[in-house]
Amino acid sequence: MHEEYAAGTALLVVDVQNDFADPSGGLSVGGAEAILPFLNEEITAARVAGAFVAYTQDWHPASTPHFAKDGGTWPVHCVGGTWGAQIHPRLVADAGPSVRKGSHGEDGYSGFTMRDQRTGATVPTELDGLLRSHGVRRVVVGGLATDYCVRATVLDALALGYETHVLVDGVRPVEIAAGDGERALAEMERAGALLVHRSTAAAVAEGRA
C-alpha cells in the first residue's frame, strides 16, 4: 500500500475525459492514454486503503467565452452531456463522486474554484466541502493536464492548507510551449507540493536505478 493513502487522504483524479485523454478528442493531450493503467492502480490502492477518491470533469456549455469560437483560448471540448465530456472508458470511474466545473461558462481549471470570465469573480466548487466532510488533510493528485487543470488544482489545494502530493507518472501536459509541463511541476514544487515519482521508486527497489 502506498503510504500516501493513510487516514485523512484523498486521491483527486483530474479531468481524465475523452476530449483530453482520447487521441481523437477535441483537446487531446499527448500520451494521455498511457497514464490510464497507472491511475487505475492508484485508484485501487486508494480504495484498498480506505482513502477518499474524487474525480473532476470539465462540463462546458456549447457556447462559452472559454472557447476560441466565442472569443476565448481553447477549441471546443468537454461540452456537458457529450462523448467528449465523459470520463475515459478505460479509467476506473466508480470509486467516488465527480465534481463538474465550468458548466455556466466559467474558466474551470481548478477542481476547487472557477472564474467568471465576464466579471472576474472566483467561486468555489463543492470539492473543498466534500474533502472536509470526509476528514481529508492530504490530497494526492493525478490526471490532465499538468500545465493547466492539474497545476491549478494543486496550487488551490496548497492555498487551502492541504498537504499536496503530485503523481508525476500520472500526469501529462498540453505544452502549448515546449517545457510547459516541467515548468508547471517546478512551480507546484516551489509552492510546497511533493512530487511523487513511482517509477523511480520502483526502479530503486528492484535495483534498476
Whether 67 and 76 have beta carbons less than 8 Å apart is answered as: yes
pLDDT for res 86: 98
At residue 3, the pLDDT reads 67
67 phi/psi in degrees, rounded to 5: -95, 145
Grid coordinates representing 141? 493528485
Quote the pLDDT of residue 167: 98
Residue 201 pLDDT: 47
Arithmetic mean of pLDDT over the chain? 92
Catalytic residues: 15, 101, 149
For 86, which DSSP code? Answer: S
Query: What average pLDDT does range 176-195 have in this prediction?
Result: 98
Domain 3-205 has CATH 3.40.50.850: yes
Percent of the chain with pLDDT over 90: 81
Residue 91 pLDDT grade (very low, low, confident, very high; cuts 50, 70, 90): very high
3-state secondary structure of 107: strand
**CA pair distance 143, 172, nearest whole angstrom:** 7
pTM: 0.93
Which pLDDT score, from 0 to 100, does residue 105 have? 78
Name the residue ranges covered by the structural domains of the chain: 3-205
Each residue of 93-115: pLDDT tens digit? 999 999 999 888 787 899 999 98
* 180-191 vs 151-159: helix crossing angle, rounded to 10: 10
Mean pLDDT within 160-180: 97
The residue with cell 456549455 is 61
- Confidence band for 83, pLDDT divided at 50, 70 and 90: very high
Contact 162, 32 (CB under 8 A): no
